[in-house]
Amino acid sequence: QVQLVESGGGLVQAGGSLKLSCAASGRTFSSYAMGWFRQAPGKEREFVAAIRWRGNNTYYSDSVKGRFTISKENAKNTVYLQMNSLKPEDTAVYYCALRSRFCFACLMDNEYDYWGQGTQVTVSS
């Protein structure tokens, strides 16, 4: 069992920055990868970024490459998403997710076993 709690969302103007955090508790020793997804109203949940729990492999969607950075602190069981140069189209609820077993790039939401409640990010134009 794993619990994930996101924080750091809010309202920001276009071009601004936010940093999201995801704190994991429980059986985090079983984690293989952690990812960020987002979902805007009326749209499907979308992959944003992922990182291997061990190692430095990171993966990003094309829409956020060069603007967002995923990172982690293993000792704190925490992953982060630094979001720069935010655009109105980045507005969504952002979710943290954990994959407990092997995955390659871990791009698909059905590859993840645990999910947080989400944190709202709103970017004004």
* Predicted confidence (pLDDT) per residue in 91-103, tens digit: 999 999 999 999 9
User: What is the signed CA dihedral for 41, 7, 46, 125, rounded to 10 degrees?
Assistant: 60
Return all residues near 91 (Cβ < 8 A) that are at least 6 apart.
40, 121, 122, 123
Separation of alpha carbons 123 and 10, rounded Å: 8
Residue in 79, 76, 77 with CA at minimum distance from that of residue 36: 79
- What does the pLDDT look like over 17-58, one tens digit per residue? 999 999 999 987 778 999 999 999 999 999 999 999 988 899
- What does the pLDDT look like over 56-66, one tens digit per residue? 899 999 999 99
pLDDT of 114 strictly over 80: yes
Instruction: Report phi then psi at 52, rounded to 5.
Output: -70, 140
Separation of alpha carbons 92 and 118, rounded Å: 9
pLDDT score recorded for residue 41: 92
